[in-house]
Amino acid sequence: MNPLKRLGRRRASVLSLLAVGALVTPVAATAAPDAVRASTLGAQAAQSGRYFGTAVAAGRLGDGTYSTILDREFNSVTPENEMKWDATEPSRGSFTFGAADQIFNRATARGQRVRGHTLVWHSQLPGWVSSIRDANTLRGVMNNHITTVMNRYKGRIHSWDVVNEAFADGGSGQMRSSVFRDVLGTGFVEQAFRTARSADPAAKLCYNDYNIEDWNAAKTQGVYRMVRDFKSRGVPIDCVGLQAHFGAGGPPASFQTTLSNFAALGVDVQITELDIAQAPPTAYANTVRACMNVARCTGITVWGIRDSDSWRSSENPLLFDRGGNKKPAYQSTLTALGGSAATQRSGVRSDRSAARSHKSAAALPSRFSWNSSGKLISPKSDATHNIAGIKDPTVVQYNGKYHVFASVAGSSGYNLVYLNFTDWSQAGSATHHYLDRTAIGAGYRAAPQVFYYAPQRLWYLVYQTGNASYSTNPDISNPNGWSAPRHFYSSMPDIIKQNIGNGYWVDMWVICDSANCYLFSSDDNGHLYRSQTPVGQFPNGFTNTVIAAQDSKFALFEASNVYKVQGSNQYLLLVEAVGSDGRRYFRSWTASSLAASWTPLAASESNPFAKSGNVTFPAGAWTRDISHGEMIRAGYDQTLTIPPCKLQYLFQGKDPNADGDYNLLPWRLGLLTQTNSSC
Ligand code: XIL
């Protein structure tokens, strides 16, 4: 946004059809060298430091087709049943490791790592355990089992599923009934992890479960609370395994958010038992991409090799058919492993050119329609802040909350505010924390953008101060944690000076792929600029500023957003335009990479991304402007990934009759929800 001078409604007549259907001129598309693409799943995953594994059944190892694929494609194995309690300690104190050893020895001889599965589970549990009623006896039996099994492979198992499936399905968010919980109480999980740490300090200790992929599920929240509690109390836990047994629709839209949120607790996440009914290629790609987009998602295991090997055989959920041939999902998985996600680990670039060379898997529609909420967030003036409008929101979901930063405008100028809340019904009652009271300081600060820069484990708030500025904070929920402003540039880049005319340099926006971070900005004069720096140098080194798109002044005005579309090779560009009615609206474009040219998607006044004409207002038409805001993202890191479906956009709007000084207009925040989502 431009805080200094606004055009108001007087420009309406001159706009005419300038904006309609105008084509943005692509400038300076640069191509990075293509990556060396690996030809097997394990090798491709290894390029980003991850593993790609499969469940293995000892009884199938003699099948040549099976073992050939196993050794060619996978660099990790999980014994499908052979390390479970009924296999390893069928009667008390009598341990049998024949089949487990067979898988373990074969894998280690070939350099494949082994996941241990599983030590404490209510299922495939011998009757002699499930009939124990005495707590001391059961505790002793459980500890002895963990210790004995872990000891056998001590130092040589990469990760252990210490406890499997302890939580209940449904809405309780509590642990399920089992002999362990019923006799020992819920503390059995902690006990198991402590015992496991002592038995093999080298192994990563995982909690593994199914139906914890949807961030909104009560079961996910229950597991999340447990892991958070463990981390806060120092109970040893290193990872969360998400089984990912999916229906044909694949992962829920929030899957990456779930991975990110667990990872943010300080644990690795692993996809441990992936299979998807009918194996739709897009569903596999979406799953893999979510992992690739989360630095601490360290590997993926599919639950079997051929459809005929699957425990869900009738659903054909795997990557190879019964004859051992690669299915379409194999290719989409391989592509996604080398695809366009940001992995940010030790300089290894896993995505490189995939985004340029493959068609998108889950394209956005080319027309949009929306429902708008009423006004959700209004200014809250206090003794020292007389606020006329709240504007330019940026929003992430993190730790079960929405965190919103926005500009606040009034007669004394522009500064920033922060609020958080658990759901939109709470947004209006959230406390407003004015950031001029923090190290961010007083004076002109506006148009914030927030994201978590995973490589540095730090939150960034990007905003305008006349220059492009940022502050950092280790804890997004602590308003006082922000550092004093620093500048991205020493001064305005020359190309902007040459093109800005009578405009203003506004609305800085950062997005990164695995190789580079890009800083976009606008000039209220028809130009979208783009600078770049390698991810390892961020936030320093922004250079090579080019005009990424240009059009007439009002057709390409300001408030640009750029996002990665989850599960596809698409990036989405939104730019705010001023319509022929003088009202604000958004146009949209897509591109196959951040430095590629932008192709119109819904980019005209008659087919806008979001304008009052394609928005319905069930709560009353409180605004005709759909102005500066931000999409609700699927994650919160620097990749700015948005879901492909059911888009939501937090925007600023205002009373259609309000007039006068631009800086005193009564901007309020509302939420658009897409109504024509096909998925
Ligand atoms: C399954 C195996 O694939 C089957 O062969 C066996 O009959 C039952 O167990 N969650 C888990 C896995 O943690 O151990 C399960 O494996 C599948 C669900």
Higher pLDDT, 1 or 668: 668
pLDDT value of position 454? 86
- Contact indicator for 415, 435 with CB cutoff of 8 Å: yes
- Taking the C-alpha atoms of residue 131 and residue 158, their distance in angstroms, rounded to an integer, is 32
Distance 365 CA to ligand 1 centre (A): 39
Query: How many residues comprise the chain?
Result: 679
For a ligand 1 pocket test, name from 213, 271, 311 the mutation site with the most ligand atoms within 8 angstroms of its C-beta: 311
- pLDDT of residue 33 exceeding 60, the answer is no
Is 73 annotated as catalytic?
A: no
Omega before 539 within 30 of 0, i.e. cis: yes
pLDDT at 412 over 80: yes
Q: What is the pLDDT of residue 568?
A: 76
For the Cβ of 80 lying below 6 angstroms from any atom of ligand 1, the answer is yes
Ligand 1 pocket, 243 CB below 6 A? yes
Q: Which of 525, 656, 521, 676 is nearest to 610 (CA)?
A: 676
pLDDT at 49 (0 to 100)? 79
Phi and psi angles of residue 658, each rounded to the nearest 5 degrees, phi first? -65, 145
Query: What is the pLDDT at residue 514?
Result: 84
pLDDT of 246-304, one tens digit each? 999 999 999 999 999 999 999 999 999 999 999 999 999 999 999 999 989 999 999 99
User: Ligand 1 centroid to 291 CA: how many Å?
Assistant: 22
CA of 514 to the centre of ligand 1 (A): 35
Q: What is the pLDDT of residues 592-607, one digit of tens each?
A: 899 988 989 999 999 9
Q: Is 165 annotated in the active site?
A: yes
pTM more than 0.85: no
Give the pLDDT score at 48.
Answer: 79
**Residue 591: C-alpha distances to residues 337, 474, 571, 597, 643 (Å):** 20, 32, 5, 6, 16
Give the residue, out of 54, 56, 80, 301, with the most ligand 1 atoms within 8 A of its beta carbon, to mutate for a pocket test.
80
Q: Is 60 exceeded by the pLDDT of residue 7?
A: no
User: Does residue 12 register a pLDDT over 60?
Assistant: no
Residue 81 CB–ligand 1 contact under 6 Å: yes
What DSSP letter does each residue of 579-638 carry, written as one string? Answer: -TTS-EEEEEEEESSTTSPPEESS-SSSS-SB-GGGEE-TT----S--EEEEEPPSS-BT
Q: What is the pLDDT of residue 358?
A: 33
* Residue 379 binned pLDDT confidence (cut-offs 50, 70, 90): very high
Instruction: Give the model confidence (pLDDT) of 226-248 as tens digits.
Output: 999 999 999 999 999 999 999 99
Q: What is the mean pLDDT of residues 13-26?
A: 35
Per DSSP, 396 falls in state E
The tokens describing 10, both together, are: 């007087």
Q: Which of 379, 466, 385, 411 is nearest to 661 (CA)?
A: 411
| Nearby residues of 365 by Cβ (< 8 Å), 6 or more positions away | 676, 677, 678
Q: Distance, CA 229 to ligand 1 centroid (Å)?
A: 28
Q: What is the pLDDT of residues 65-91, one digit of tens each?
A: 999 999 999 999 999 999 999 999 999
**Is 458's pLDDT higher than 80?**
yes
